[in-house]
Amino acid sequence: MQVNPNRGSPDLSEMSKLTATSEQILRQHGGPILAIAFAGMYPPGSEGNECAAEMVAYVRSALSTTNTAAMLFDLRNLDYTWGDAIGGLAVALMEKNASFRPLAIVAVGPTARALEPLLSRRFVFGFAGAKMFDNVPDAVSHLERVLKARGE
């Protein structure tokens, strides 16, 4: 994986199934809200493990170049059907004190329906406190409220 010098984030052009972009969408006192959009086909089940690993590497690289206060994963253009390795995205947001950076997911259609079970407290997205929305403005508003409640 290479870092795109214009974005400061890894370039996923080497990946055959996914693309990724990132941007800081709102600056807070504790750092920016970072939006990462993944698009393309995420293979089902264990076949998706490699894609999940690449996605997690992208997130970690993006986090290493920003002082991100909260994360928004935009998965509206991701074709995801099932597989729990995608939960590694939440694990990448775990901080040293075992808490998680605030996290929102934007997903629609079959991808949103497939992700819903992973948002229960028994799975990592739910344990991390992730919430899912069908649009970016609602997700950003949620993250702003969470950051305000945390005093950031």
> What is the per-residue pLDDT across 77-135, written as a single tens digit (0 to 9) for each?
999 999 989 999 999 998 887 789 999 999 999 999 999 999 998 998 989 999 999 99
Q: In terms of DSSP H, where are the helices of the chain?
A: 49-65, 88-91, 109-115, 124-127, 136-149
**Predicted pLDDT at 152:** 64
70-79, strands of its sheet edge to edge: 18-28, 31-41, 70-79, 103-106, 131-133
Split at pLDDT 50, 70, 90, the class of 150 is: confident
Architecture of domain 2-149: 2-Layer Sandwich (3.30)
**Predicted pLDDT at 30:** 76
Question: What residue segments make up the domains of the chain, in order of their start?
Answer: 2-149
| pLDDT at residue 11 is higher than 80 | no
| Neighbouring C-beta atoms of residue 66, cutoff 10 Å | 14
pTM: 0.85
